[in-house]
């Protein structure tokens, strides 16, 4: 768990990025209706959670900054027994005052009036531009005297780039649970089972070990389905001789894991499957070895493309000079995505990849990112030797940048051919 003192430090860091005589507002996520009077499971706005750790809806965090003072104000849903009967207990104002180290706590019913008062002596307003929330529109209507309006999301997301020791601990816990799920899946996969059975087994393991939510919709893509990058139907029966690509991660105390493994349904890789799998694995290991402070993701991407193109040429899938293939983007047919992304409170962590001047942000100590090369060959692609058609392979790990280089946080999740086949047996 993250201590209240850490949340306070984050708010203090944010305060230094705000103008004097400014007001900043971050809202909780709203409830999302599934149908009629039922809702999707609630998940807090990551920026809001990052700054205070409060998990309830109908709340807001407000920052008031003058030349001499920085004040944090939390608005929460007041306790109403008639509503709590249906939707569960609320913390309420008084308990929130005890739990959170903020300057003031009010019922959310008082939000509009308090904001009007706070805006009187302010000339800058910070809100989240990118969430399309009608509550922000309402605040803007109250802020007619404000002449500058800034996106507070950008300020928070920069803070989220560097992970604290507490955050890294939670990510490690999510990965530890995900390891159990993937290893169980390797043992459970069998010819004749359906993809959704494998999905159910994975998500059962998540919940069994305390990860009450998956970090994203689990992908279980057997055979040619693996060549659809975001395949989530998971309805196909798994057949003899196929691979199954499993992209599954859990969320533990709001922090994500994101792991992909590709395994043979029958427990044994064919020769052609081994060739493609080994190409992806060798590429991934090389790219991971390049990770260190000041390295750039663009360099990792470029090297991954070179390695994959050279390998595909050896297998007779691509032809020509490596440089020309890459310049003409012929390889994108088989490797269309990036080498990885930031990971943290969100599986694709909302943190910038470039500075305002468009310069790339280099890797730094305590950043966390995924490394996930892949090869995808559609079964209808007659330009490829028949033995490779219908095979999709992706291997993904979660990497912590350290002072000396890197640590593969998911290194204990089986991925060598021998490890996978041994587990399957």
Return the SS3 of 319. coil
Q: In whole angstroms, what is the distance from residue 297 CA to residue 369 CA?
A: 10
Residue in 261, 341, 397, 406 annotated catalytic: 341
Q: Are 386 and 220 in contact (CB under 8 A)?
A: no
Confirm whether 348 is a catalytic residue: yes
Residue in 55, 149, 337, 389 annotated catalytic: 337
Q: In whole angstroms, what is the distance from residue 96 CA to residue 119 CA?
A: 24
98: enclosing H helix or E strand: helix 92-99
Residue in 43, 135, 348, 366 annotated catalytic: 348
Confirm whether 109 is a catalytic residue: no
Confirm whether 150 is a catalytic residue: no
Residue 7, token pair as written in the block: 């949340």
Confirm whether 230 is a catalytic residue: yes
Residue in 56, 214, 247, 346 annotated catalytic: 247
The DSSP result for 230-288, as a single string, is: T-----PBP-TT-EEEEEE-EEETTEE--EEEEEETTSS--HHHHHHHHHHHHHHHHHH
Confirm whether 372 is a catalytic residue: yes
Residue in 254, 335, 376, 388 annotated catalytic: 376
Confirm whether 341 is a catalytic residue: yes
Residue in 69, 230, 240, 359 annotated catalytic: 230
CA distances from 277 to 310, 314, 365, 373 (A): 14, 14, 31, 11
Confirm whether 247 is a catalytic residue: yes
Residue in 106, 396, 397, 406 annotated catalytic: 396
Residue 346, token pair as written in the block: 């969100």
Residue in 56, 214, 242, 372 annotated catalytic: 372
Closest CA to 133 of 11, 26, 49, 22: 26
Confirm whether 149 is a catalytic residue: no
Residue in 231, 394, 397, 406 annotated catalytic: 394
| Three-class SS of 125-188 | EEECHHHCCHHHHHHHHHCCCCCEEEEHHHHHHHHHCCCCHHHHHHHHHHHHHHHHHHHHHHHH
Q: In whole angstroms, what is the distance from residue 14 CA to residue 303 CA?
A: 36
Residue in 128, 258, 349, 397 annotated catalytic: 258
CA distances from 223 to 81, 308, 348 (A): 53, 21, 26
Tokens 């390695």 — which residue? 307
Q: What DSSP state is assigned to residue 21? A: T
Confirm whether 37 is a catalytic residue: yes
CA distances from 204 to 173, 174, 196, 246 (A): 16, 14, 12, 15
Closest CA to 77 of 42, 40, 36, 116: 42
Catalytic residues: 37, 230, 247, 258, 337, 341, 348, 372, 376, 394, 396
């Amino acid at each position: 768990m993250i201590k209240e003192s850490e949340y306070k430090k984050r708010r203090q860091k944010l305060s230094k990025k705000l103008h004097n005589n400014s007001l900043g507002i971050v809202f909780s996520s709203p409830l999302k209706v599934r149908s009629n009077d039922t809702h999707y499971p609630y998940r807090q706005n990551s920026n809001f959670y990052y700054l205070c750790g409060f998990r309830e809806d109908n709340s807001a965090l407000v920052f008031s900054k003058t030349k001499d003072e920085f004040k944090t104000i939390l608005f929460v849903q007041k306790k109403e027994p008639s509503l709590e009967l249906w939707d569960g207990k609320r913390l309420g104002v008084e308990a929130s005052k005890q739990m959170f180290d903020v300057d003031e706590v009010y019922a959310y019913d008082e939000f509009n009036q308090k904001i009007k008062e706070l805006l009187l002596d302010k000339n800058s307003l910070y809100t989240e531009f990118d969430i399309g929330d009608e509550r922000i529109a309402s605040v803007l209507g109250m802020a007619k005297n404000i002449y500058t309006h800034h996106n507070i999301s950008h300020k928070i997301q920069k803070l989220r780039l560097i992970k604290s020791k507490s955050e890294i601990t939670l990510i490690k816990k999510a990965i530890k649970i995900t390891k159990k799920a993937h290893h169980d899946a390797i043992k459970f996969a069998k010819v004749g089972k359906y993809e959704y059975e494998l999905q159910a087994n994975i998500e059962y393991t998540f919940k069994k070990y305390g990860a009450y939510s998956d970090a994203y919709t689990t992908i279980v893509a057997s055979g040619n389905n693996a060549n659809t990058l975001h395949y989530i139907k998971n309805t196909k029966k798994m057949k003899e001789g196929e691979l199954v690509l499993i992209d599954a991660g859990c969320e533990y105390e709001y922090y994500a894991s994101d792991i992909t493994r590709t395994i043979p349904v029958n427990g044994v890789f064919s020769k052609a499957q081994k060739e493609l799998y080994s190409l992806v694995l060798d590429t991934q290991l090389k790219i991971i070895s390049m990770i260190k402070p000041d390295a750039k993701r663009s360099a990792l991407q470029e090297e991954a493309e070179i390695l994959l193109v050279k390998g595909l040429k050896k297998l007779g899938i691509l032809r020509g000079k490596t440089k020309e293939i890459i310049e003409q983007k012929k390889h994108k047919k088989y490797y269309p995505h990036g080498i990885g992304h930031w990971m943290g409170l969100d599986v694709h962590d909302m943190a910038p990849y470039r500075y305002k001047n468009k310069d790339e942000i280099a890797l730094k100590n305590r950043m966390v990112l995924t490394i996930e090369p892949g090869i995808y060959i559609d079964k209808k692609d007659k330009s490829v030797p028949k033995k490779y058609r219908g095979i999709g392979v992706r291997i993904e790990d979660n990497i912590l940048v350290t002072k000396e280089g890197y640590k593969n946080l998911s290194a204990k999740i089986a991925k060598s051919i021998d490890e996978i086949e041994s587990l399957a047996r």
